[in-house]
Amino acid sequence: MKLDNKIALVTGASRGIGKAIAKILCENGAFVYLAARDAEKLSVTAKEINPSGTKTKVIPTNITSNTSVGELFSKIKAEEKSLDIVVNAAGIAPAVAAEDLTYQDWKNVLNTNLNSVFSICQSALEGMKAKGGGKIINIASILGSMASPGLTAYCTSKSGVIMLSKQLAVEWAHYNVNVNAIAPGYISTDMTKSLRNDNTLNQKLLARAPLCRWGKPEDVAKVALFLASDDSDYVTGAVIPVDGGMSASLM
Ligand SMILES: NC(=O)c1ccc[n+]([C@@H]2O[C@H](COP(=O)([O-])OP(=O)(O)OC[C@H]3O[C@@H](n4cnc5c(N)ncnc54)[C@H](OP(=O)(O)O)[C@@H]3O)[C@@H](O)[C@H]2O)c1
C-alpha cells in the first residue's frame, strides 16, 4: 500500500476532516496517532477507523498548550517512533464581528489555528530530519485568502497557515521535508452545521460553488493522501483548493 511502514500524526482527528484524513491514511497502510482534546470521542473514532486497534493510537492533546504538545511528542518518542507524516487539521471557527471580538477570543483562535501549527511542525522536524524526510500537510481554508464577515480571527489565522506552509516548505526543502497546505471550501462537518441549517445562507453558498454541492470530508482526505504519499514528492509549498471551484469564480 501507498503508506506501508509510515507513521502519521493527525490533529483534529476525532471528527470531520481530521477523522476522514486519519481514516484514509490508515486504510493506505500508515500507523496513525490521533490527537484532539476529547479522549472519549477520539477512542470511538479510533475504533471506527481501525476496529482491531493495531494501526491507531489515541493521544488526547490540547494543541494550544505547549505542555500538552510536548507530552504528545514525548509519548511518540517513548514508543521509539518518529513521524513521516503530520497533518494539522484541528481548528475552530467562532463567528464574532470584529468590533465585538475580545482580545482573549482573538488569541484563542490564533493559538488554535496558527500558533499550534508552528509548534507541531517544529516539534516533528527533528524526527523527520533523522529519517531523511517527511510530509507535512496543513489544513488552511479558502478563507485564508478571502475575507468573510464575522471571521476576522479565523481568516487571519488561515492566511497565516498558508504563509507558514510556504515558508517552511522553502526552509525545510533541503531536509527533504515537503510542506503543503490544503484550502478547503465549505465542507459538511460539525463546524459548518449552522450554515447548512440556515436555508438562505445554504442556498447562497451552493450558488457560489460551481460544482454546486457541499464538500465531503473525504474530498479533502483524498488530496491529503496524495500529499502524504510518494506521488507528491516534487510538490512543496503548494496550496491546493478543495472547494468545488468556489475560489475560481466570482459569481
Ligand atoms: N468544515 C469546513 O468547511 C472547513 C473549511 C475550510 C477549512 N476547514 C478547516 O479544517 C479543519 C477541520 O475542520 P472540521 O470542519 O473538520 O472541524 P470540526 O468538525 O469542528 O473538528 C475540529 C477538530 O479539531 C479539534 N480541536 C479543536 N480545538 C482543539 C484543540 N485546542 N486541541 C486539539 N484539538 C482541537 C476537535 O476536537 P476536540 O474539540 O475534541 O478538541 C475536532 O477533532 C480546521 O482547521 C478547519 O478550520 C474546515
Angle between helices 16-27 and 39-49 (to 10 degrees): 40
Distance CA 126, CA 69 (A): 15
Parse the chain into domains and list their residue ranges.
7-188+216-242
- Point out the catalytic residue in the list 103, 154, 175, 234: 154
Helix, strand, coil percentages in the chain from 3-state DSSP, rounded to 5? 50, 15, 30
Residue written as grid cell 470511538? 44
Mutate to test the pocket of ligand 1, among 21, 37, 69, 113 (most ligand atoms within 8 A of CB): 37
Q: Tens digits of per-residue pLDDT, 82-114?
A: 999 999 999 999 999 999 999 999 999 999 999
Please report which residue ranges of the chain form alpha helices under DSSP H: 16-27, 39-49, 66-78, 103-110, 116-131, 152-172, 193-197, 199-208, 217-228
Per the annotation, the verdict on 154 as an active-site residue is yes
Q: Which CATH number fits domain 7-188+216-242: 1.10.8.60, 3.40.50.720, 3.30.420.40, 3.40.50.12140?
A: 3.40.50.720
Question: Which residues, given as ranges, of the chain have pLDDT below 70?
Answer: none
The pLDDT value given to residue 81? 85
Q: Write out pLDDT tens, residues 46-77.
A: 999 999 999 999 999 999 999 999 999 999 99
**Single-letter residue type at 215:** G
